[in-house]
Amino acid sequence: MAEKTVVQASNFVRNIIQEDLAQGKNQGLVATRFPPEPNGYLHIGHATSICLNFGLAADFSGTCTLRFDDTNPEKESDEYIQSIKRDVEWLGFEWHGEERYASSYFDTLHGFAVELIEKGLAYVCDLSPEQAREYRGSLTEPGKNSPYRERSVADSLDLFARMTAGEFADGAKVLRAKIDMTSPNMNLRDPIIYRIRHIHHHQTGDKWCVYPMYDFCHGLSDAIEGVTHSICTLEFEDHRPLYDWFIANVSAPSTPRQYEFARLELNYTVTSKRKLKQLVDSAAVTGWDDPRMPTISGMRRRGYTPAALRNFCADTPVARSKGITDVSRLESAVRDDLDSKAPRAMCVLDPIKVTITNWSADDVKTLVVPVHPKDETMGTRELTWTREVYIDRADFAMQAPRKWKRLAPQQSARLRGGYVVTCNQVITDADGKVLELLCTYDENTLGKKPEDYKVNGVVHWVSASHNLPVEVRVYDRLFNDENPDGNKERDFTECLNPESLQVISQAYAELGLASGTVGQQYQFEREGYFCIDTDSTADKMVINRTVTLRDSWGK
């Protein structure tokens, strides 16, 4: 409970909403929105924004819309739209009504632009992009008025209509707001509100060849939707005066307010769609849903759960100050969630054969063990005990270190869920590599301790004759530098971890896995959490390692 209080206290947006409600603002309504640009797949940073916006709406019995801010058709696609909808739903949120598109407001927005021209608050400008840059000034120098700034309302109306009708080439003219070329806030130096782009739009087709700029479109779309609290990340703080200016100067149907919070930054991770796209386009990863990607679709494929992501977001403070979150917090949220939910299974990743010399070759015994050691309701599963089994190479040592709890020559260990075995003989090749262990089992040790000797070790195992061969993909962090973006001299791709993917083409899982379907999660005992990958075929099951059992990075 103590933790919950901390989370709430640090959520300044929640406090603002509470005050607004106390003062009776917005007729007591709370309306938020999640407004992605459909120019890539969503990542873990977006998950925090989704949880915040949908979470606040739910907590205050309000609404949250999903709105695609689709003002840049050349970078957008339906594939991205579909992936975003899938990801928001998978996270467990339901948007209010149908999904929205800023592009469906283009008529209204165009009308607002005309309204600004009529009020003498916008003008068509013919400066080239280079000239406009010169006129704009810099952080230390004021800008200069464009020579087209005093163009008559009638001329601007006429030119804007002709821009809209397709009479001019891309970039030939723009519509600009008439605010203040000397403002210390560069965003207010007569920003562009409409530009010419003769390009097909995924929603509006060829209807438009002028498109609104993001700042103009975004705030006014909020106003059209009746958003009360428009939450965005800190880089938009300096845009807020412009956000307010547009709403104040057109006949906007409502007056939303913008609040900014610090974007989520995770160490060992990049969270920028542009950079993630670069990884996809350069084939550094297999796609947006590569299980190493910090995208929601990558994390889903890897076996992360919606609850784990929601818990991680809930425990990440919503703050105005920037900070870097430790990615191991995300990983431990995944472990915490899977521990109680994932059925247990055994899988040997790096096998050595063990022959149980006092067990007959034609004797195949079924052992019944719990699916989950702490949850009886999950039932039981069957293991097959045979003369030949596999254990993991790491569970045997020629020379056992002190306190060794696994197998070694003349030492005993329990094969989990089965009998205690003692290693009597080790067969090696000419280089000393262990090929096989010859062991005996103790028939009085099934489900009970041996009477006259002590056994500390328990190792996992799988029958060598009755198993399911699987491919296992073991992932490590995609970047091996804590701050892949942190060095200006170096491209972030130079920090890619060359060992982020290890493919074990043949591992051996207990037979029960054969009935598992794509997405099924398991805890492979003593190994970690795993899930069945979408690349699985009828011939070969492919399994992803979701996360190790403990935080072992760098250890």
- Sort 5 into a burial class: Cβ within 10 Å, 0-12 / 13-18 / 19+: exposed
- Rule CB under 6 A: say whether 546 interacts with ligand ATP: no
Exposure letters 269-292 (e unless 16+ CB within 10 A, then b): bbbebebbeebbeeeebeebbbbb
Q: In terms of Cα–Cα distance, which of 188, 126, 112, 135 is closest to 156?
A: 126
Residue 545 site contact among ligand ATP, Mg ion, none (CB < 5 to 8 Å, cut-off depends on kind): none
Residue 48 site contact among Mg ion, ligand ATP, none (CB < 5 to 8 Å, cut-off depends on kind): ligand ATP
**Residue range at the interface with ligand ATP (CB under 6 A); choices 31-39, 372-380, 398-406, 500-508:** 31-39
**Residue range at the interface with ligand ATP (CB under 6 A); choices 17-25, 264-272, 396-404, 476-484:** 264-272
| Distance, CA of 246 to CA of 253 (rounded, Å) | 12
- Rule CB under 6 A: say whether 393 interacts with ligand ATP: no
**Between 117 and 231, CB nearer to Mg ion:** 231
Report, in Å, the least distance between residue 36 CB and Mg ion: 8
- Phi, psi for 9 (deg, rounded to 5): -65, -35
- Rule CB under 6 A: say whether 213 interacts with ligand ATP: no
Partnered with residue 257 across adjacent β-strands are: 229
Q: In terms of Cα–Cα distance, which of 145, 105, 138, 142 is closest to 123?
A: 145
| DSSP for residue 295 | B
Residue 272 site contact among ligand ATP, Mg ion, none (CB < 5 to 8 Å, cut-off depends on kind): ligand ATP
Active site residue 37: yes
| Distance, CA of 71 to CA of 355 (rounded, Å) | 66
DSSP 3-state helix, strand, coil percentages of the chain (rounded to 5)?
A: 35, 25, 45
Binding mask 111-150 for ligand ATP (x = CB under 6 A): ----------------------------------------
- Contact between 37 and 70 under an 8 Å Cβ cutoff? The reply is yes
| Distance, CA of 180 to CA of 162 (rounded, Å) | 26
Q: Site for ligand ATP (CB under 6 A): which residue of 164, 271, 295, 463?
A: 271
Q: Site for ligand ATP (CB under 6 A): which residue of 13, 41, 45, 57?
A: 45
Q: Site for ligand ATP (CB under 6 A): which residue of 32, 48, 305, 467?
A: 48
Report, in Å, the least distance between residue 84 CB and ligand ATP: 8
| Distance, CA of 200 to CA of 338 (rounded, Å) | 45
Exposure letters 143-173 (e unless 16+ CB within 10 A, then b): beebebeebeeeebbebbeebbeeebeeeeb
Residue 36 site contact among Mg ion, ligand ATP, none (CB < 5 to 8 Å, cut-off depends on kind): ligand ATP
Residue 45 site contact among ligand ATP, Mg ion, none (CB < 5 to 8 Å, cut-off depends on kind): ligand ATP
Q: Site for ligand ATP (CB under 6 A): which residue of 17, 20, 36, 217?
A: 36
Q: In terms of Cα–Cα distance, which of 400, 397, 439, 405 is closest to 422?
A: 439
Active site residue 263: yes
- Rule CB under 6 A: say whether 327 interacts with ligand ATP: no
- Rule CB under 6 A: say whether 298 interacts with ligand ATP: no
> Among all residues, whose Cβ is closest to ligand ATP?
45
- Rule CB under 6 A: say whether 257 interacts with ligand ATP: no
Q: Which of 25, 144, 149, 263 is catalytic?
A: 263
**Which spans of this chain sit near Mg ion (rule: CB under 5 A)?**
37
Report, in Å, the least distance between residue 34 CB and ligand ATP: 6
Angle between helices 214-225 and 106-118 (to 10 degrees): 110
- 């160490």: which residue's tokens? 267
Q: Site for ligand ATP (CB under 6 A): which residue of 8, 77, 145, 233?
A: 233
Report, in Å, the least distance between residue 37 CB and Mg ion: 5
Report, in Å, the least distance between residue 529 CB and ligand ATP: 25
Q: Which tokens in the block code for residue 488?
A: 């200006």
| Distance, CA of 289 to CA of 295 (rounded, Å) | 7
**Between 294 and 303, CB nearer to ligand ATP:** 294
Beta strands in 292-410 (DSSP E): 324-325, 344-345, 347-348, 351-356, 365-370, 380-385, 388-392
Q: Which of 176, 273, 292, 387 is catalytic?
A: 273
Report, in Å, the least distance between residue 295 CB and ligand ATP: 10
Active site residue 273: yes
Q: What SS3 string covers 38-63?
A: CCCCCEHHHHHHHHHHHHHHHHCCCE
Q: Site for ligand ATP (CB under 6 A): which residue of 56, 227, 252, 264?
A: 264
CB within 8 A of 183, min separation 6: which ones? 189
- Rule CB under 6 A: say whether 295 interacts with ligand ATP: no
| Distance, CA of 490 to CA of 462 (rounded, Å) | 46
Q: In terms of Cα–Cα distance, which of 472, 469, 527 is closest to 344?
A: 527
Report, in Å, the least distance between residue 504 CB and ligand ATP: 33
**Between 35 and 298, CB nearer to Mg ion:** 35
**Residue range at the interface with ligand ATP (CB under 6 A); choices 245-253, 263-271, 436-444, 547-555:** 263-271
Report, in Å, the least distance between residue 50 CB and ligand ATP: 8
Residue 65 site contact among Mg ion, ligand ATP, none (CB < 5 to 8 Å, cut-off depends on kind): none
CB within 8 A of 434, min separation 6: which ones? 352, 393, 396, 398, 426, 427, 428
- Rule CB under 6 A: say whether 263 interacts with ligand ATP: yes
CB atoms within 10 A of CB 304: 26
- Rule CB under 6 A: say whether 76 interacts with ligand ATP: no
Give the footprint of ligand ATP on this chain (CB under 6 A).
35-37, 45-46, 48-49, 232-233, 263-264, 271-274
Catalytic residues: 37, 263, 273
